[in-house]
Amino acid sequence: MYNIDAAIISETHLKTKHSTERFNIDGYTLYRRDRAGRRGGGVAIYVKHSLSATLYLPTDHDDPLFELLWIKITAHNRDIYIGVLYHPPTPLYQTSSLLDYIEATVNQLSSINYSDLFILAGDFNTLSEIELVLRTGFISAVDQPTRGDNRLDRVYLSELCYDHIKVVTSAVKSDHKAVIAHTGPTITSLNKTSTVRTYRKRSPSQHASFLSFARMMSYTVNKSRIYCADPRTKNI
């Protein structure tokens, strides 16, 4: 267990028919934004109960097709805005519209308090990193591939706030890696282990040979030792 404060998840596949209570994790609050009207997609954030977190809903430039969710956490005498994004390979919206929305949200919040911290993470697929960084001034924190040779799962920060960024094997069945951002001492990866066992596999021909041999075996029963003292019981 990495004892994380917030878990960011993209492509949840959750829909309105899925009750939030069914996906609760002890000690965490779940915030989600589902993809509407289509299969797949969706984003979510799990936040520790000990953190003061609220859902943030920007109104300007938002689009129901955007799979982007923001929450606000107040910690260490400052506001921290965490966003989770899933940008599909073939979006139904203009990519420039999504970038406009992200830029407008960051500018709006920064104008209120320039010391706020912004963290934006998720599966960005083909979204231009150069364009995102130019528009927001964010720092790209992930420099390793997360799916094959591609760096699709990224973390962007308004300031360098983590000591370590680790790319590890996902705890769930996925061809994407997981990204762990943390401060403090280096943590040990909790990787899965596998063990190879050898066994004698029985082929269909072996089964057939066994059944053929079993038919030739003879059995004898000593009837003198079998008697019934009561019709409801049988003693041998």
State the pLDDT confidence band at 149, using cuts at 50, 70 and 90.
very high
Residues in the chain: 236
pLDDT over 60 (residue 136) = yes
Domain membership flag for residue 233: no
Domain membership flag for residue 63: yes
Let me know: does 65 contact 93? Beta carbons within 8 Å: yes
In this predicted model, what pLDDT tens digit does every residue of 34-66 receive, in sequence order?
Answer: 998 889 999 999 999 999 899 998 877 789 999
Place of tokens 């960084």: 133
**Average pLDDT for 89-96:** 95
Place of tokens 């002890």: 26
> What is the SS3 assignment for 49-108?
CCCEEEEECCCCCCCCCCCEEEEEEEECCEEEEEEEEECCCCCCCCHHHHHHHHHHHHHH
Domain membership flag for residue 38: yes
Q: Which two tokens stand for residue 164?
A: 């370590």
| % of the chain with per-residue pLDDT over 70 | 87
pLDDT over 50 (residue 236) = no
State the pLDDT confidence band at 190, using cuts at 50, 70 and 90.
low
Per 3-state DSSP, the chain is made up of helix, strand and coil in percentages (nearest 5) of: 20, 30, 50
pLDDT over 50 (residue 173) = yes
Domain membership flag for residue 225: no
State the pLDDT confidence band at 183, using cuts at 50, 70 and 90.
confident
Q: Is the dihedral of CA 111, 58, 93, 84 positive or negative?
A: positive
Report the pLDDT value the prediction gives residue 138, as an integer from 0 to 100.
97
- Quote the CA–CA distance of 131 and 138 in Å, as a whole number: 11
Domain membership flag for residue 213: no
Domain membership flag for residue 224: no
**Average pLDDT for 113-142:** 95
Task: Tell which phi-psi region holds residue 70, choosing left (phi > 0), alpha (psi between -120 and 50) or beta.
Answer: beta
In this predicted model, what pLDDT tens digit does every residue of 101-114 receive, in sequence order?
Answer: 999 999 988 888 88
**Average pLDDT for 4-29:** 93
Report the pLDDT value the prediction gives residue 225, as an integer from 0 to 100.
58
Domain containing residue 156 = 6-182
State the pLDDT confidence band at 220, using cuts at 50, 70 and 90.
low
Report the pLDDT value the prediction gives residue 206, as an integer from 0 to 100.
82
Domain membership flag for residue 103: yes
Q: In what order do the strands lie in the sheet with 153-157?
A: 52-56, 68-75, 78-86, 117-123, 153-157, 139-140
- Quote the CA–CA distance of 166 and 235 in Å, as a whole number: 69
Domain membership flag for residue 171: yes
Name residue 19's amino acid: S
Q: Is the dihedral of CA 28, 158, 168, 177 positive or negative?
A: positive
What domain count does the chain have? 1
State the pLDDT confidence band at 155, using cuts at 50, 70 and 90.
very high
CATH number for the domain harbouring residue 10: 3.60.10.10
